[in-house]
Amino acid sequence: MNGKAGYMGKWLALSIACLLLAMPAQARLLDIFQKYQPELVVSDPYIEMHTGPGRGYPVFYVAGQGDHIKLLKQRNHWFKIRIPRGQHFKEGWVHVDQMRHTLDLEGNEIEFGQVALGDFTRRRWEVGLNGGDFGGAASITGYLGYALNQYITLQLEATQILGNFSDGLMGSANIVMYPFPKWRVSPYFTIGTGIIATKPHTTIVQAQDRRDEIAHAGAGANIYLSDRFILRMEYKRHTVLTSRDDNQEINQWKAGFSIFF
């Protein structure tokens, strides 16, 4: 009884906390966490302030040379800035290309780094999703990768297999080797092992659920698109280690997108 009340209380507190966080008045409360908002000086003749973070939003104000601006936040290639004007201030979004020549208060240049090929090569974490064909059935795969160095990545993979006669889930751990990590189109080899669970559809009679070990080897390529986007294509050959006399071989083709951090 008491435990249940405590549980309910926890949920209530949690939902109230969520509600409070969502309220605009509480935005001020969150500011206690002191966001990093450095001040800069405009050194170009002018920079254009848009009403929103995108090229579709019109320019509504222009900050001139020597103006002090405060960087508030960033979304993709856009920076939200605040510029004092008498008693008030103006806030708008400026594209990174126009920010490149702003200086800090002592006149030093600032690095407005953009994610580029070098970051792709040096990436540490990588998450991705891809879809494809798994021995005639459709497959959807999600994976998480951690790079030990530029050449070797450890990877956990979960695949859902959706066939016309059965469904399956496969989990595996892989090692991925990149012989040419600096290339924009970076080929790789992979080996791994895991478990596959198969469940025949309810419309199929007299079939049993199965759980088997699986081992696989494959090859593929990462293609760096831009920013944090990677296009990934892969072929894998799976060997299902069944309890029957012979092992089952399955080919898998897939393609999808990944994001790296």
Residues that bind other proteins (CB under 8 A): 22, 24, 35-38, 40, 51-58, 71-80, 104, 106, 108, 110-113, 129, 131, 137-138, 140, 142, 160, 162, 164, 167, 201-203, 226-229, 257, 259
Report the alpha-carbon distance of residue 157 to residue 130 in Å, rounded: 11
Residue carrying structure tokens 């549980």: 7
Nearest distance from C-beta of residue 113 to other proteins, angstroms:
7
* Residue whose CB is less far from other proteins, 76 or 149: 76
* Residue whose CB is less far from other proteins, 37 or 149: 37
Which residues, 6+ apart, have CB-to-CB distance to 49 below 8 Å?
Answer: 59, 60, 61, 62, 63, 81, 83, 90, 92, 93, 94
* Residue whose CB is less far from other proteins, 101 or 228: 228
Nearest distance from C-beta of residue 99 to other proteins, angstroms:
9
Nearest distance from C-beta of residue 28 to other proteins, angstroms:
13
Is 151 in contact with 253 (CB distance < 8 Å)? no
* Residue whose CB is less far from other proteins, 191 or 207: 207
Burial (CB count <10 Å: 0-12, 13-18, 19+), residue 3 = exposed
H helix or E strand, kind and range, residue 21: helix 2-22
**Token duo for residue 220:** 């593929």
* Residue whose CB is less far from other proteins, 236 or 254: 254
Nearest distance from C-beta of residue 4 to other proteins, angstroms:
25
Residue 83 has phi, psi (to 5 degrees) of: -130, 125
Nearest distance from C-beta of residue 22 to other proteins, angstroms:
7
Nearest distance from C-beta of residue 23 to other proteins, angstroms:
11
* Residue whose CB is less far from other proteins, 229 or 253: 229
Nearest distance from C-beta of residue 82 to other proteins, angstroms:
12
**What does the DSSP 8-state code read for residue 227?**
T
Compute how many other C-beta atoms are within 10 angstroms of the C-beta atom of residue 247. 13
Helix/strand/coil percentages in the chain, nearest 5 = 15, 55, 30
Burial (CB count <10 Å: 0-12, 13-18, 19+), residue 100 = middle
* Residue whose CB is less far from other proteins, 41 or 62: 41
